[in-house]
Amino acid sequence: MPVSKKRKKVANRRPTPPKRVDPVAEKGPSPTWYVALMFGLMGLGVLIILANYITLLPGSPDNTWLMVGLAGIAAGFAMTLNYR
């Protein structure tokens, strides 16, 4: 009966690990205007809601002003997702 060939021994070959590139390190920190706009939208939203409830806005108290204020706060929080 024929004898099969033996396998060649491979000397500890490991694949090279992939380069891990940190995407945040390449982009750098957020610009100052981005941070100011982010906090400005949140602050403006809070001020609109407060002004609505102490009747400083025309037609207040009204749900429209409440929605505008909440939209400002939500836009500011949405901007925090891209903050570096």
Q: Is the dihedral of CA 50, 45, 30, 80 positive or negative?
A: positive
28 pLDDT tier (thresholds 50, 70, 90):
confident
Residue 16 to residue 80: CA distance in whole angstroms: 36
For the whole model, what pTM was predicted? Answer: 0.67
In the block, tokens 């060649």 appear at 8
pLDDT of 70: 97
- DSSP 8-state assignment for residue 55: T
- DSSP 8-state assignment for residue 57: S
20 pLDDT tier (thresholds 50, 70, 90):
confident
Question: Per the structure block, which two tokens stand in for 16?
Answer: 């090279």
